[in-house]
Amino acid sequence: MMSSATLTRTETITTAKARGPRRSHVPGQKPFGPLRVVAFIVLALMAIGWLLPFLWAVATAFKTETDAASGDPGWIGASGPTIEAFTAILSQGNVYTWALNSLLTSVAITLITLTISALAAYAFSRLDFTGRKWLFVVIIASIVVPPQVLIIPLFYEMLAFNLVDTYWGLILPQVVAPAMVFILKRFFDAIPIELEDAARVDGAGRLRIFWSIVLPLSRPILASVAIFVFIGAWNNFLWPFLVINDTTLMTLPVGLQTVISAYGVQYAQVMAQAVLAALPLIVIFIIFQKQIVKGVATSGFGGQ
Amino acid sequence: MTAATDSTRTIVTGSKAIPRDRRPGSRNREQLVSWAFLAPFLIAFALFLVWPIIHGIILSFTDQSLTGAGGAFVGFANYAEALSDPKMWQSMGNTVWFTLLSTVPLVLIALVMAALVDRGLPGQWLWRLSFFMPYLLASTVISQIWVWIFNPQVGAANNILKALGLEPIAWLQNPDTNMLSIVIATVWWTVGFNFLLYLAAMQNIPPQQYEAASLDGAGPWRQFWSITLPQLGPATVLILILQILASLKLFDQAYQMLGGVASDTTRSIVQYIYEAGFVSYRFGYSAAISYVFFALIVIIGVAQALIMRGKKEQQL
């Protein structure tokens, strides 16, 4: 029933929207004008400045504890590079448990957030029901509530539900993301309604339309939202820090934090830890750079 | 679900109107379907956002303790105590001070970074990685790195000072410099987010405008001042709002960089909420401070909205 003409048009619209305007160079500029060289040098210096702290951490992680504590500013310690600090960290076992906890809870938070937000966003975008307008206003207004303000009542609630020191106590309070509902609704609004009309003529129900027409067309925005929610959950500190006391249930950021105080003087090991914890996110960034960059733009401006 | 919505079939009209069956009952069906779609989100929304907001207000009027003791109604006693608590005002002051110190460099440096990267210089991938990568790191990781850099005996920061012939500083241990140290780490950590927002805004400017300007003989510097910058107004307002709101929520890095030690010069309002609730076990009092803080955020939000509206009217 869908005419191929409509389909092609929609595809162009959605892909164009997804990619956004891009320009490879600023037109009307000489490729190597003097101003461009200066700009390049300034940019390179800033980039080095921004990479240095992390490179120092990496350099320290490859030193022996004695070299790290010696205060010698060299990149390589007097005893030469070593992976001692990494093996010491990885032989402790807790790091694996924490990484696994972080992965499990972050994936769960991402999947639940995405599912419930997309369903609600579809209802706000396409369905007609009593109270639609004011309910949407309430949800948008709740974006201003800082999660930090709710730690006391939320902790109290987790105590009442017996969820303190459980995965669910960690996950559930993090799945409500009103901003994501707003971002998804705005994207669904831009999908031409004709596509759904055709499917409805064929007798498809709302859930089918949502699943087989709307979601596939929304892949780019879903990917952005998912990456964003995942990174937020992976790095969240305050809530996991409050709700988890059991060492075996801690997430990576909370677990690592307990270790600093335990051996604060072992610089090489602390830096090896920091580098190991940073690694997965650097890999994610290198793989998904385009989606992340676009996700920041859409999610950031979503607050408008 | 499919069967339930079967009756909403309609004849193709080719118009943009939402096809709607005129048979009785279909509207009720759409209501039902709507609430089914909304239910999972609304349940979570009610349980983990709406109820905590309400319950927090209730708790703030009691002397509830984390240990389960107390819970008696105390009226406005917690609020009265909060407003006359020097520690509350001190942490409020620290929070505002941090917000002022961090927002200016976080917006200006981001603008410079984006303006330079937007020139289309080679190495786009590397610039984005360098500036944005720190933002992806957990607060624990960045705290560990900066505690090491700011180490008074062997840290890189003092090595640089020594190389420049300056006196070493006890960055995090000295109450005069610990807030500044946290600001430096925070700028490094989060400037990448603002950088990407600015970059997105700059890339929305049609290239034709630059082409026309360069035909008129405007150089890159002139183009930036007369084309790029004037069109960044809305983006700057948004970045400022997001940055101020983010800076006011200071806790993670400040708490961890000082190793959980409460310092009178860095204790933020969120840290005081945490200390009152989870160190002193005073849930009721902590809830009251939370709402004083929330009030501050709402006041700032409303002020920003009013300023923006005023600006829009000026433009019209």
* pLDDT at A281 (0 to 100): 86
Beta carbons of B35 and B1 less than 8 angstroms apart: no
Query: Shortest Cα distance from A278 to chain B (angstroms)?
Result: 6
- The answer, yes or no, to whether residue B10 has pLDDT greater than 80, is no
pLDDT of residue A1: 35
pLDDT above 90: residue B22: no
For B19, nearest residue in chain A (alpha carbons): A197
Neighbours of A93 (CB within 10 A): 8
| DSSP 8-class letter at B282 | B
CB within 8 Å of chain B, chain A residues 226-265: 231, 234-235, 237-238, 242, 252-254, 256-257, 260-261, 264
Distance in Å from the first CA to the final CA of chain B:
49
Percent of chain B at pLDDT > 90 equals 54
Q: Which residues pair with B65 in a beta bridge?
A: B282
pLDDT band at B314 (very low <50, low <70, confident <90, very high): low
* B141, B210, B261, best to mutate vs chain A, most A CBs in 10 Å: B141
ipTM, interface predicted TM-score of the complex = 0.84
Domains of chain B: 85-281 (1.10.3720.10)
Q: How far apart are CA B1 and CA A122, in angstroms?
A: 15
Is any Cβ of chain B less than 8 angstroms from the Cβ of A144?
yes
- With a cut of 50, say whether residue B12 has pLDDT above it: no
pLDDT of residue B261: 79
Closest CA to A197 of B15, B256, B82, B280: B15
Q: Which pLDDT score is estimated for A284?
A: 86
* Class of the CATH-defined domain A93-262: mainly alpha
Q: Model confidence over B283-311: pLDDT tens digits?
A: 999 999 999 999 999 888 888 878 877 76
Average pLDDT (B204-232) is: 86
CA distance A77 to A67: 5
Rounded to a whole number of angstroms, the distance from the CA of A197 to the nearest CA of chain B is 7
DSSP state of B19: P
Per-residue confidence (pLDDT) for residue A165, from 0 to 100: 96
Give yes or no for a contact between A86 and A276, defined as CB atoms under 8 angstroms apart. Answer: yes
What residues in A contact B214, CB-CB < 8 Å? 27-29
Q: Residue B222: what pLDDT?
A: 85
- How confident is the prediction for chain B on average, in pLDDT? 86
The pLDDT assigned to A133 comes to 93
Give the model's pLDDT for residue B316: 53
Spans of chain A, pLDDT less than 70 = 1-32, 260-265, 299-304
| Contact status, residue B129 vs residue A33, Cβ threshold 8 Å | no
pLDDT at residue A299, as a whole number: 64
CA distance readout (Å), B91 to B97, B176, B269, B275, B291: 10, 15, 5, 11, 14
Q: Please tell me which of the candidates A70, A148, A175 has its beta carbon nearest to residue B44.
A: A175
Which pLDDT value is given to residue B4?
40
* pLDDT for the residue numbered A9: 34
Q: Rounded CA gap, A290 and B199, in Å? A: 13
Q: Which residues of B touch A230 (CB under 8 A)?
A: none
Assess A24–B contact: CB distance below 8 Å, yes or no: yes
Residue with tokens 């330079």: B116
A122 touches chain B (CB under 8 A): yes
Q: For residue B148, how many other CB atoms are within 10 A of its CB?
A: 22
Instruction: Examine the pLDDT at B257 and tell me if it is beyond 70.
Output: yes
Which chain A residues have a beta carbon less than 8 Å from that of B290? Answer: 148-152
pLDDT at position A296, please?
A: 78
Contacts of B53 in chain A (CB under 8 A): 145, 150, 153
